[in-house]
Structure 1
């Protein structure tokens, strides 16, 4: 169990990054990560040692976000993106350029439909294989591939137009 918990702690940066893509808001992302970790710890017996913990936790996060999105739509809540100050400590000009580029990419990804946004986040940001991402999203690999292609094209088009 201690090894399991340590592995979860090591996954926290990746979980937060995916949560930011899903929620488009740093505070909501933190809440989603917390919920994901809580669910993983309470369901630790469901994880099969020897399988990828990251994929299992990404699936938990995706399902938790679906639950939250449904609840929000019933409540009529809106999520707004915000800068988390991740570029503190860089040279002024370099930090500004990095923030601008990151903001453009983040806006382009945020504008994608949710199915494409998740595909892009899991494969291009988190580095999962197509097969693993398809399992996380619980869709056929061909479906994931088409979502990823459409998502990439839309991001590139948005960045070229920026």
Structure 2
């Protein structure tokens, strides 16, 4: 829930929507014993940046892959099929037209403004199980994130001769 909430916030900040969410979990490859390495992909139709929809998809994916008895060392979510929030695909031959859903755009916008003003996780989905004090010391590990050469000047490589 925490990972999906954070990704939803980042999607909205980038004015994007996700068409699919991948959930993964695995044990340490260095620890002897039983191995666990599974993932599940959840299709999101229509594409969304709604925290509630992304958390529901992540929890559903986790329920699909979870097996008790393993000491997991890493878990996470990845978003796929990213779309601009301004573009909307009109119809899809593979999916039936969904029943009209309530638009949570204004709620998500209000949630983001409150968290921006009073600090991260001031308002959050209850299933994250975090208090504001817990969330202050928590950070995602992003050591494998690709560099942002085209969007962040401080990450442009410098060649010295």
Aligning the two structures, in what range does the TM-score lie when normalised by the shorter sequence? 0.3 to 0.5
Q: Tell me which protein shows more helix as a share of its residues.
A: 1
Q: Tell me which protein shows more strand as a share of its residues.
A: 2
| TM-score scaled by length of structure 2 | 0.36
